Structures are given as C-alpha cells and as structure tokens.
C-alpha cells in the first residue's frame, strides 16, 4: 500500500511539479498516473523511491514514512521498470535479472532457481537466454526482461515508468496482456506512469489524472470515463470516451444486464463472436458490417444469442445514465 499525503515537489527555481497530492494505492492494485506531458506524473513516481526528494507532505509505504527509511534499503524493496528498459549491456540476461537479489546477498542456488521461475513467467527459455547479452534480444524481449528484473527479489511494490511506451502497438498490447496475467498471480502494488489513455484504461484498477502537478480525479477507469468530474477530465478522455469505456466491458456483462437478442436461423450470412470479447471490439465488428448477423457463442461454442448495435447502445445508456454510483466518494 502506498499513501500520498499532501505530497509536494518544489524545485530549487521555485517551480512546483507536484502540488499537495492525496491518494492511496491499495495493496495488489494497479494505479495508473495519467496526464499530459509535464503534469508531474514521472516526478511523483520517482518520489516514491526517492530518486526525487519530497519537498513537503509524506509518502507512506505500508504505513511507514518513506523518509524514515534508508534510501538504498527502500529502493531494493521497490521494483523499478523504466521505458528504455535500462538493461545493463555489460551483463548477461541472467546477471541483469539477478541484480537486486545479488545486492541482497542471495545464494547462488536461490538466484538460479528464481531466474528460472521468472523466465517461465514470461515464457522465455532460461537456458537459452540466460547467457545472452541484452543487445542480442528484440525490443519486446528486452522489455519483458526489464519487467521480471523488477520482480526478481519479489518486492511488494512496483514502480513502472511508461514501461511499454517504446514498443510497437501490436507487441505492446501483447505484453500488456501478459503483464496483467502475471499481476493476477503476483498481486503487486503497482504505480504505473502512462500518457496513453487506452493503456491506462486497459491496465488500471484506478486512474490518477494529473494536470500541472495537481490531482484532477482519482477513480476507476469506468467511473472516470462515464462520470468525469470536470471539464478537463471530460476533454482529456476525448469525445469518444463512451466508446473507450466499452473496452472495459464484455459481452457477458451486457448479457447479464440487458440480455441478447434471439438469433434467426434463417439468416445464412452470420459470424460468431466469443462471449468474453470486449464491447469496443464487438461494436467495431458490428459497424464493419462483416455479416448480416453476429452470433455470440460461449467457450464451448454454444450459441447464446445475437448481438446488435441497438443492444450495445442500450447497455451504454444503462451504464452512463441509469446505473447508480457504486462507490461512495470522499
């Protein structure tokens, strides 16, 4: 758990990068720091492991004031991933991944075992890649190594500074999914910087939207998209924020609330779609007019019903207008 308590950063020249930010990252959650460039998101992240000093206010990690801890000790307990992966070219992949365990004085055997386990997590062969050097790997592989390096000593907290920002869109999405899969298993408390709205919606349990060092809104992605608190938030997520919010929901959720349409056996030009598909992609499919009828199937291939643009629209209406606010704010 990371708690920000009126955290403020003022540089020597009098520029304030972060202004009295208050929020808490709950244990096992991914909180994405989102905002336009220069909004202070990276500074805020770097204040957690004290790469940037804290001018005023506090940052508590699991209830302990970070300033009361030794900065070296503190950093070894926090995983850190940066955009340019930061792998050391003079070290092999195994040496790179095992840096923090090495600093902490783990035994050779423990390190070997841990490396194997971590490489398994990202489905890379530890024998094959262990002795290689970073430059011999592709960008996507390097970034995966960067992620498991941060996980190496099993730190409870992780800081990720645009970790997937340098990757091309296809690989980025793949690694994001892979990371979410890993997160399900390891349940780290993660603070994640991004400037990519889609990435934030995809990855975040909650989003912190910053502007000029001030916290504009702290909410779940869907709340933020559906009920923006201010004009800035509304504009930041764009006119298509309703469509964006659809990517947070699956056909199954829609089926539970609105229900699907009856499908017509008479129509031959049909395509099928899995019930776990997100609604944003489903809507794109419907708009593309690829077939006269789109039939929803479950994992076993049983036909559950048909889906139409009207139904998606009805669901969206329910989400935005009818649904009561679930989380009490304050």
| CA–CA dist 6, 21 (Å, integer) | 5
Taking each helix axis from N to C end, the angle separating 279-287 and 309-317, rounded to the nearest 10 degrees, works out to 140
Kindly state whether residue 12 participates in binding other proteins, applying the rule CB under 8 A: no
**Residues within window 177-206 making contact with other proteins, judged by CB under 8 A:** none
Alpha-carbon distance values, 304 to 64, 251, 274 (Å): 51, 11, 10
| CA–CA dist 194, 197 (Å, integer) | 8
| CA–CA dist 119, 103 (Å, integer) | 20
Candidates 67, 103, 287, 309; binder of other proteins (CB under 8 A) is 103
Query: Which range touches other proteins (CB under 8 A), out of 89-97, 187-195, 198-206, 275-283?
Result: 89-97
Kindly state whether residue 99 participates in binding other proteins, applying the rule CB under 8 A: yes
Candidates 18, 100, 151, 286; binder of other proteins (CB under 8 A) is 100
Kindly state whether residue 84 participates in binding other proteins, applying the rule CB under 8 A: yes
Which CB sits closer to other proteins, 147 or 225?
A: 147
Q: Which stretches of 224-291 are assigned E, i.e. beta strand?
A: 270-274
Query: Which range touches other proteins (CB under 8 A), out of 119-127, 130-138, 260-268, 297-305?
Result: 130-138
Q: Which stretches of the chain are assigned E, i.e. beta strand?
A: 2-10, 16-25, 30-34, 56-61, 64-65, 78-82, 157-161, 189-194, 206-211, 214-219, 270-274, 293-297, 303-307
Task: Please tell me whether residue 236 adopts helix, strand or coil conformation.
Answer: helix
DSSP state, residue 92: -
Q: 176: closest CA among 187, 164, 193, 185?
A: 164
Which CB sits closer to other proteins, 159 or 254?
A: 159
Please provide the size of the chain in residues: 330
Kindly state whether residue 207 participates in binding other proteins, applying the rule CB under 8 A: no
The CA-based diameter of the chain, rounded to the nearest angstrom, is 73
Candidates 76, 111, 114, 206; binder of other proteins (CB under 8 A) is 76
Query: Which range touches other proteins (CB under 8 A), out of 66-74, 120-128, 170-178, 246-254?
Result: 66-74
- Pattern 24-63, binding to other proteins, x per CB under 8 A? ----------------------x--x-x------------
Candidates 2, 44, 145, 159; binder of other proteins (CB under 8 A) is 159
Give phi and psi for 278, each to the nearest 5: -80, 160
Q: What's the min distance (Å) between Cβ of 90 and other proteins?
A: 4
Candidates 134, 163, 213, 228; binder of other proteins (CB under 8 A) is 134
Kindly state whether residue 105 participates in binding other proteins, applying the rule CB under 8 A: no
Candidates 7, 21, 80, 175; binder of other proteins (CB under 8 A) is 80
Candidates 68, 90, 302, 325; binder of other proteins (CB under 8 A) is 90
Q: What's the min distance (Å) between Cβ of 79 and other proteins?
A: 8
| CA–CA dist 311, 89 (Å, integer) | 53
Kindly state whether residue 270 participates in binding other proteins, applying the rule CB under 8 A: no
Kindly state whether residue 75 participates in binding other proteins, applying the rule CB under 8 A: yes
Kindly state whether residue 82 participates in binding other proteins, applying the rule CB under 8 A: yes
Q: Count the Cβ atoms, other than its own, within 10 Å of residue 36.
A: 13
Q: What's the min distance (Å) between Cβ of 71 and other proteins?
A: 8
């Amino acid at each position: 758990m990371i708690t920000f308590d009126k955290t403020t950063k003022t540089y020597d020249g009098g520029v304030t990068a972060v202004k009295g930010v208050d929020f808490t990252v709950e244990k096992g959650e991914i909180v994405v720091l989102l905002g336009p460039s220069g909004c202070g998101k990276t500074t805020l992240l770097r204040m957690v492991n004290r790469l940037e000093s804290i001018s005023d206010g506090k940052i508590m990690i699991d209830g302990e004031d970070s300033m009361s801890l030794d900065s070296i000790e503190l950093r070894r307990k926090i995983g850190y991933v940066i955009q340019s992966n930061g792998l050391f070219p003079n070290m092999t992949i195994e040496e790179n991944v095992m840096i923090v365990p090495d600093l902490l004085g783990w035994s050779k055997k423990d390190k070997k075992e841990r490396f194997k386990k971590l490489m398994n997590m990202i489905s890379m062969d530890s024998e094959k890649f262990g002795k290689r050097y970073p430059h011999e790997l592709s960008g996507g592989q390097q970034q995966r190594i960067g992620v498991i390096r941060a996980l190496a000593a099993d730190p409870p907290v992780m800081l990720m500074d645009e970790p997937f920002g340098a990757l091309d869109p296809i690989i980025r999405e793949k690694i994001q999914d892979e990371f979410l899969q890993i997160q399900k298993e390891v349940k780290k408390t993660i603070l994640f910087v991004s400037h990519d709205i889609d990435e934030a919606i995809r990855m975040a349990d909650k989003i912190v939207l910053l502007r000029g060092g001030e916290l504009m809104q702290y909410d779940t992605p869907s709340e933020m998209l559906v009920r923006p608190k201010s004009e800035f938030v509304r504009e930041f997520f764009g006119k298509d924020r309703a469509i964006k919010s659809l990517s947070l929901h699956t056909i199954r959720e829609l089926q539970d609330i609105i229900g699907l349409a009856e499908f017509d056996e008479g129509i031959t030009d049909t395509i099928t779609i899995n019930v776990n598909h997100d609604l944003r992609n489903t809507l794109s499919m419907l708009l593309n007019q690829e077939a006269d009828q789109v039939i929803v199937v479950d994992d076993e291939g049983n036909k559950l019903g048909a889906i139409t643009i009207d139904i998606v629209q009805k669901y969206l209406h329910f989400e935005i207008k009818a649904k009561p606010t679930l989380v009490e704010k304050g």
